[in-house]
Amino acid sequence: EAGVVQSPRYKIIEKKQPVAFWCNPISGHNTLYWYRQNLGQGPELLIRYENEEAVDDSQLPKDRFSAERLKGVDSTLKIQPAELGDSAVYLCASSFIQGGDSGANVLTFGAGSRLTVL
In whole angstroms, the minimum distance from the beta carbon of 98 to another protein comes to 12
State the minimum distance, in angstroms, from the CB of residue 15 to another protein: 25
- Closest CB to another protein among 51 and 80? 51
* CB-nearer residue toward another protein: 28 or 103: 103
86: left (phi over 0), alpha (psi -120 to 50) or beta: alpha
Query: What are the residues binding another protein (CB under 8 A)?
Result: 3-4, 31, 33, 40-45, 48, 50, 55-56, 91, 93, 95, 97, 101-112
Q: How many CA atoms lie within 13 A of 67 on its CB side?
A: 31
Closer by beta carbon to another protein, 63 or else 101: 101
| Smallest distance, another protein to C-beta of residue 8, A | 13
Please say whether the dihedral angle defined by the alpha carbons of residues 76, 90, 52 and 63, taken in this order, is positive or negative.
negative
The rounded distance, in Å, linking the Cα atoms of 88 and 107 is: 20
CB nearer to another protein: pick between 73 and 111: 111
